[in-house]
Amino acid sequence: MNLEEVRKKVLSKKGGWFFLYPLFFILSKLFCFFARFRYELYKGGILKTITPAVPVISVGNIVAGGTGKTPLVEYIYTMLQDVGFTPAVVMRGYGGKEKGPVVAEDEPERFGDEAALYVKKGFFVVVSRDRLAGIDFAVSKGANVVVLDDGFQQLGIKPTVNVVVVDPFNPFGGNMCLPLGTLREPVDALERADCFVISRANFASFEKVNSLEIYLKTFRKQVFKGEQCFKYWIDRTFRKVEPPEKEITVFCGIGSPQQFLQQLKEEGFKVIKSFLFPDHHFYTAEEIKTLSKYPNLVTTEKDLVKVKDYDIDVKVPVLGVEVFGLKEFILNRIKNVEKHEEKNEKESFVPDGVSVSQSVERRIFKES
């Protein structure tokens, strides 16, 4: 039983789980307290925030689990590449063994499923537990802009643009921090965002998206709406194929499996049976053997990189996302930073042997 299953049972207050509710409530309050206390340490200058020498686009959230962040990272990376930048994705590599900093390869066991997926798509990816070291490493390898995956809680790094992804189906994790809710920090942490992207807006009702947009605008930041769709389908060898028959069997190990199932239904598929595994799950040969008994198997891109070496007949929808206005917002931010840096370069120089992060002024993090 994983944490999410335990959390749901505690929230139900049924049977013996009722007695765990007060404990989870206290733990959630403590989690929020320490998250806020950590932020105050940075805000007060006790802990320092460093501004890297290259533009950094942070893509993150305040809710644990899937919010639609991965396709947005892909969207931003591709956009930056298309306009002439040499981008790199810097990430922790959840589920992988590498501590880094190291250039990721198509090996999910070492680098994590998300990193392996990005690599499979031709992205330059650096995995590093220390994200600042990862940025320095990426720059040393030729990157001139960084997409910081899951960077909102990285208070030691001041990004050029702080993009926060908000899921309209579960925007604020039950308004409780972990473990009773799914918030990673209090909702007022959204003050740090530069803009918001409401993910999967085309799958939520107008009323739901509109009320969320109105609330997010109270933070006085730009709000964008992301539309998500299936671009095409691929098989285990990553070749384009025809979509499966309408009656399908689904398996996946992602943060928001219910959203994936719902999107399949919106596309006209009937899910006969579903196997839902924990997020970042690595499949065993026995599990693959069991799954192979079912017809018309469908899974996610993130899961495909972990089953591609097994003999399993499976089809996968490739997600595409469009966020109108976000491209211009990010490029304008980068342009403004570059103008500021050009002015500073006339007044100072970088000594030999100093890293790109050390060469810039260490500035105390301030709320936007």
Q: Please report, in range form, the residues annotated as the binding site for ATP.
A: 63-70
- Hey, what amino acid is at 124? F
* 128's tokens: 């590093």
Residue the block writes with tokens 């702080």:
162
- Reference 130, options 114, 110, 151, 104; nearest CA is 151
Residue 337 DSSP SS3 = helix
Residue 362 DSSP SS3 = strand
Can you tell me the distance from the alpha carbon of 223 to that of 229, in angstroms, rounded to the nearest whole number?
20
Can you tell me the distance from the alpha carbon of 306 to that of 291, in angstroms, rounded to the nearest whole number?
14
Can you tell me the distance from the alpha carbon of 6 to that of 14, in angstroms, rounded to the nearest whole number?
12
Can you tell me the distance from the alpha carbon of 134 to that of 140, in angstroms, rounded to the nearest whole number?
10
Q: How many CB atoms lie within 10 A of CB 303?
A: 25
Can you tell me the distance from the alpha carbon of 206 to that of 247, in angstroms, rounded to the nearest whole number?
29
- Reference 230, options 241, 217, 216; nearest CA is 241
Beta-bridge partners for 164: 60, 196
Can you tell me the distance from the alpha carbon of 170 to that of 83, in angstroms, rounded to the nearest whole number?
33
* 182's tokens: 């799914």
**Which residues are annotated as part of the binding site?**
63-70
Helices 69-82 and 326-345 sit at what angle, rounded to 10 degrees?
Answer: 60
